[in-house]
Structure 1
Amino acid sequence: MNSAPASPQPSNADTVALDRAHVFHSWSAQGALKPLVLEGGLGSTVWDNEGNEYLDFSSQLVNINIGHQHPAVIAGIKAQADIMATVAPAHAINIRGEAARKITDHAPEGMNKVFFTNGGADANENAMRMARLHTGRDKIISRYRSYHGNTGSAVVATGDWRRIPNEYARAHVHVFGPYEYRSEFWSDSPEQEAERALHHLERTIQAEGAESIAAILLESIPGTAGVLTPPPGYMAGVRAIADKYGILLILDEVMVGFGRTGHWFAFEAFDVKPDLITFAKGVNSGYIPVGGVIISDEIAATFDERVFPGGLTYSGHPLAAASIVASITAMEEEGIVENAAMIGRDHIAPGLAALADKHECIGDVRGSGVFWALELVANRETREPLSAADMGKVKGALVKRGLLPFIADNRIHVVPPAVVTAEEVARAMAIYDEALSEL
């Protein structure tokens, strides 16, 4: 018996036409969009319908920590699909409990419960809700240079332009955090930047009324805002201020958690323990949408006899839970977090430093693990940001040479998967060099 003929492979033009006819894209004016086609991937490489390959140094949205199509994660999802593909969150299912246990194994002592969400935005949403209910207070302090997601309170906690057309939630206060290259505090050293940013935070708390503030919400390292690694003493200082005024500390690890900075959690490098940790992205590299809140035992106990007024139909979805278990297990067994630390230290850091020595348009280099940024400038003396037009040229030059970049404002974020190899980093550095040479 003859089998049915295989469907013809669509062209890139076919895929774009189908997309533009029916898909409404986020954060975009729809009319002029020309999305890049991707139809497959493996490790740090992706490709389109017509055989064009790209080194994925964006990790898509900085979430493919374990690389594309890791066989253990795909196998874990398939195995769970054969057992039970979905279940309501009110039931107990072994794979969900195992996923929570694997996550808390890497959390600080005294944090043993996980509330699962569908992604990072609703993780932050529910962390703020827990903080408000636990403290009986209302306000949330977050930073102007931040991104916490696109749900009601999360987008208002966000500090960038996306907050402004979406400000419908109440009781949010913003402060400036440390940013040594473009200091808001006229500082001339990392220590001074930390000291002055902490003074600004504490004065804001005093002016707002400490008794009205439930939590300080910070990305451990602001990501989309520029890979802004905090200076020594800043994070410990935030913790001390929070404790002084009875305020909870929520650390947003959505982008930086699970290996991105060469640690399981980025805050491990800063001598600080939060009360609530939000996560998503790297916990399973986005193979199935999932996020969550890791909860301190003290806050979890608040809801032992009191109903927590929050929930999601797909909280702890079994396929997502299976992908978490498989991903964390593979990261442990294959030393993927250690690889991220080594690659950052031995290959990305020296490679970017060499580029900065060669190219006057590079004003600053910062990062750790597989989480770096090149800040591009028109003039090193004045630090004038490189124009949007020139950044567009850089992006085009990179894509033309087979590298998929993450571009934000006047920065190239160098954010490959945590499984990236030294050879792939060397190829990427050569491509960055050629693209920047065109400027």
Structure 2
Amino acid sequence: MTDTALPDMQHLPTPDPDTGKAVAELDRAHVFHSWSAQDQIAPLPVAGAAGSRFWDYEGNVYLDFASQLVYTNIGHQHPKVVAAIQEQAAKLCTIAPGFGNDVRAEAAELITDHAPEGLNRVFFTNGGADAIENAVRMARIHTGRPKVLTAYRSYHGNTATAITMTGDPRRWANEAAGHHDGNVHKFFGPYLYRSAFYATTEAEESERALAHLEQTIVLQGATTIAAIVLETVVGTNGILVPPPGYLAGVRALCDKYGILYIADEVMAGFGRTGRWFAVDNWNVTPDLIAFAKGVNSGYVPLGGVIISDHVHDTFRNKAFPGGLTYSGHPLACAAAVATIKAMREEGIVEHAAWLGENVFAPGLAALAEKHPSVGEVRGLGAFWALELVKNRETREMFVPYAAAGADAAPMNAVFAEAKKHGAWPMPHFNRLQLTPPLILTEDEARQGLEAVDAALTVADSYYEG
């Protein structure tokens, strides 16, 4: 694939350690960082980025195997998107959401063009968390029901309802601080490698997970449940690809009990799985789709809810009680228009599918064969995880669930080795997750896999099997 945004690595900026030190000192003095104990972090000052790489002030260059937080789908500094933002800024920087705006309307049209049939309108938000919040609000008003069901292994955002919907440990401290939506309830999603249902095959896992979900619906009271919210492919919490039949089964349960199906595609959407939306891999149609991240690669904050016609009908003559000052911000929408058009013109979604099938799937399988610390490889497109273990027979996690401090030291060592070899993946508990830009070339992918190979040698040194 020709990557129009790839930097000329012969002409990177001259290293400037003094400026890097000044940036770090200013950051330390005034910036409060998310998800962190402030005195225990040392954020890397980044000097620049282009294509699939970014670099620091010391001159170290990294393959961005995390796409930052899984959002630079089109890569860094794509010239078509940068130009679109510049052109829009010269024309109209901002306009309130109550006005009509050409680029906002075009962005909505392009987004719905790629959505499943029957989802024809977009409510724009500033990011993924408020997309989830507003999707749930729509579902509750549409159904007249209060409850929402979500999976334990999930992440949906950091706003009040979204963090309660989240299944991972970031929820705990928020709930302890009183940030809790009492109408959110959890269930186990499918995860064959660590099955909650004693399944041994994908078919068993799918069937038993659906039976568990239906039992949860019945015991919670089907007539009290507004929505089931699922990440189509669970992202941060494991790159968990649903087994065949599962999402279709969820759709059927929602239809049976009058519940809305909300697909959280904030991370999995816009080509990440090798399809425009991850639900397309299983040909299911949700009632609402929450999106963000890849819609414009995070160049300007943007998210939204794609709304089915029947949910939209509820609000034809009833006001929707929600809105945001920057909903459909022109600069963000201009970036989305340029991103989607570039993805079409350059075959970026198709390239992501090709990378998954021809490079990542066989390359990671070979690494799993070589390294005993790899318990399982999962993924599709440019969305992959290596689950690391201390023992393949017992499947003991490489580091404990919710590991922090000294418990997380082995994974920190693995991550450090990957960076030493020029790649920046995403570690999360006992998983090393590989989520590079979709424009990644084959050569870059193989360079990244070589760095992961070196990192797994470190992981093997902790192996106890």
TM-score range, shorter chain: over 0.9
1:407 has 2:427 as partner: yes
* Pairing 1:4-403 to 2, within 5 Å after superposition: 10-167=18-175, 168-387=180-399, 388-403=408-423
Tell me how far apart the structure 2 counterparts of residues 220 and 140 of structure 1 sit (CA, whole Å).
16
**Residue 108 (structure 1) shift:** 1.2
Tell me how far apart the structure 1 counterparts of residues 191 and 45 of structure 2 sit (CA, whole Å).
35
What does the per-residue CA deviation read over 1:6-54, in whole Å, with 9 as the maximum and x for residues that have no partner?
xx88532222111111000000000121112212111101001222100
Indicate if the aligned counterparts of 1:406 and 1:412 stay in contact, CA closer than 8 A: yes
Segment drifting more, 384-393 vs 161-170: 161-170
1:431 has 2:451 as partner: yes
The letter for the 2-side match of 1:148 is H
**Residue 152 (structure 1) shift:** 0.8
Tell me how far apart the structure 2 counterparts of residues 9 and 102 of structure 1 sit (CA, whole Å).
43
- TM-score, normalised to structure 2, is 0.92
**Residue 73 (structure 1) shift:** 0.4
**Residue number in structure 1 paired with 2:438:** 418
Q: Which runs of 5+ in 1 are unaligned?
A: 1-7
Indicate if the aligned counterparts of 2:145 and 2:224 stay in contact, CA closer than 8 A: yes
Moved over 4 A (4+): none
The letter for the 1-side match of 2:380 is S
Tell me how far apart the structure 2 counterparts of residues 21 and 208 of structure 1 sit (CA, whole Å).
48
Indicate if the aligned counterparts of 1:289 and 1:320 stay in contact, CA closer than 8 A: yes
Q: Which runs of 5+ in 2 are unaligned?
A: 1-15, 400-407
Tell me how far apart the structure 1 counterparts of residues 359 and 168 of structure 2 sit (CA, whole Å).
31
What does the per-residue CA deviation read over 1:193-227, in whole Å, with 9 as the maximum and x for residues that have no partner?
01111011000100011000000000001001100
Indicate if the aligned counterparts of 1:11 and 1:50 stay in contact, CA closer than 8 A: no
Indicate if the aligned counterparts of 2:117 and 2:285 stay in contact, CA closer than 8 A: no
3-state SS of 1:311 partner:
coil
Indicate if the aligned counterparts of 2:51 and 2:77 stay in contact, CA closer than 8 A: yes
Alpha carbons of 1:9 and 1:97: their partners in 2 closer, same or farther (altered >3 Å)? farther
**Residue number in structure 1 paired with 2:4:** none
Alpha carbons of 1:187 and 1:262: their partners in 2 closer, same or farther (altered >3 Å)? same
**Residue number in structure 2 paired with 1:4:** none
Q: Equivalent pairs: percent with the same residue?
A: 59
**Residue 399 (structure 1) shift:** 1.0
3-state SS of 1:35 partner:
coil
Tell me how far apart the structure 2 counterparts of residues 339 and 130 of structure 1 sit (CA, whole Å).
35
Q: For this pair of structures, how many residues does the alignment match?
A: 432
The letter for the 2-side match of 1:47 is W
**Residue 271 (structure 1) shift:** 2.5
3-state SS of 2:237 partner:
coil
Tell me how far apart the structure 1 counterparts of residues 429 and 282 of structure 2 sit (CA, whole Å).
27
3-state SS of 2:409 partner:
helix
3-state SS of 1:250 partner:
strand
3-state SS of 2:355 partner:
helix
Tell me how far apart the structure 2 counterparts of residues 165 and 432 of structure 1 sit (CA, whole Å).
32
The letter for the 2-side match of 1:208 is Q
Tell me how far apart the structure 1 counterparts of residues 368 and 107 of structure 2 sit (CA, whole Å).
42
**CA root-mean-square deviation:** 1.0
Segment drifting more, 250-259 vs 26-35: 26-35
What does the per-residue CA deviation read over 1:142-174, in whole Å, with 9 as the maximum and x for residues that have no partner?
000000000010111111111122232220010
The letter for the 1-side match of 2:48 is G
Tell me how far apart the structure 2 counterparts of residues 384 and 109 of structure 1 sit (CA, whole Å).
43
